[in-house]
Amino acid sequence: MDNSQLMKGILEGCVLSIIARGETYGYEILSVLEEAGFEDTGEGTLYPLLTRLEKNGLIVCRRAKSPLGPIRKYYSATEAGITGLEEFRSRYRLIAESAEKILYGQGGTQHD
């Protein structure tokens, strides 16, 4: 059992959240994810996810030259993206609360 199953779905909301903070691009998102603790996130995970978000109209992308390498794709959240993010947060919180209720107990299990 590895982390990948836990990651599913969560990552999508997190990436959307990062983009919603301000225009950014793939490589930078990767570093933000790593800083936050998603250390194993690879390009093969992120880029398809960005494509999916874009296809669903939650983010839009603009191509611009990088001062360093090849063209970057700068993403920013659409209004639908902002709305979707709120919905995601709600769903996430519900599930997280349900999970924690079961995992740690309502008040019975003392966890450090």
The CA distances from residue 10 to 5, 42, 70, 85, 95, in Å, are: 10, 15, 29, 11, 11
Q: Reduce the DSSP state of residue 76 to 3 states and report it.
A: strand
- Which residue's CB is nearer to its own copies, number 71 or number 103? 103
Question: Is residue 45 near DNA by the rule CB under 7 A?
Answer: yes
Distance of alpha carbon 46 from alpha carbon 61, whole angstroms: 15
Query: Is residue 18 near its own copies by the rule CB under 8 A?
Result: yes
Q: How far is the CB of 107 from DNA (least distance, A)?
A: 26
Instruction: Decide: is 51 part of the binding site for DNA (CB under 7 A).
Output: yes
Type of residue at 94: L
How far is Cα 63 from Cα 78, in angstroms, rounded to an integer? Answer: 16
Q: Which residues bind its own copies (CB under 8 A)?
A: 1, 3-10, 12-14, 17-18, 21, 32-33, 36-38, 56, 84, 88-89, 91-92, 94-99, 101-104, 111
Q: Which residues bind DNA (CB under 7 A)?
A: 1, 3-5, 7-12, 25-27, 40-45, 47-52, 65-66, 68-74
